[in-house]
Amino acid sequence: MQTRKMKDLEVPVVGMGSAGTFDVAMEEIEVRKKILDNCISQGTNFIDTSPMYRRSEQVIGTAMEGKRDKFQLATKVWCSGKETGQKQMARSFELLRADYIEVMQIHNLVDWETHLPVLEEMKAEGKIGIIGLTHYSPAALPEMAQIMRTGRIDAIQVSYNVMEREVEEEILPLAGELGIGIIVMRPVGSGLLINNLEQQPNLTPLKEFGIETWGQALMAWLLADPRVTVLIPATRRPERIVENAAVGSVAIPAEMRDYILKEAQRCLKAGKYSLG
Ligand X SMILES: NC(=O)c1ccc[n+]([C@@H]2O[C@H](COP(=O)([O-])OP(=O)(O)OC[C@H]3O[C@@H](n4cnc5c(N)ncnc54)[C@H](OP(=O)(O)O)[C@@H]3O)[C@@H](O)[C@H]2O)c1
Instruction: Give residues in contact with ligand X (CB under 6 A).
Output: 17-19, 48, 107-108, 134-136, 157, 185-191, 194, 213, 215, 232-237, 240, 243-244
In the bound state with ligand X, the residue whose beta carbon lies nearer, of 40 and 192, is 192
In the bound state with ligand X, the residue whose beta carbon lies nearer, of 84 and 213, is 213
In the bound state with ligand X, the residue whose beta carbon lies nearer, of 42 and 108, is 108
Q: How far is the CB of 49 from ligand X (least distance, A)?
A: 6
CB 180 within 8 A of CB 153: yes
Q: How far is the CB of 195 from ligand X (least distance, A)?
A: 7
In the bound state with ligand X, the residue whose beta carbon lies nearer, of 115 and 125, is 115
CB 51 within 8 A of CB 88: yes
In the bound state with ligand X, the residue whose beta carbon lies nearer, of 170 and 243, is 243
Helix, strand, or coil (residue 204): helix
CB atoms within 10 A of CB 276: 5
| CA–CA separation, 18 and 185 (whole Å) | 10
Q: How far is the CB of 21 from ligand X (least distance, A)?
A: 6
CB 100 within 8 A of CB 126: yes
Q: How far is the CB of 80 from ligand X (least distance, A)?
A: 16
Q: How far is the CB of 237 from ligand X (least distance, A)?
A: 5
Q: Which ranges in the chain belong to alpha helices (H)?
A: 29-42, 56-63, 82-96, 112-124, 141-148, 171-178, 192-195, 214-223, 238-245, 254-267
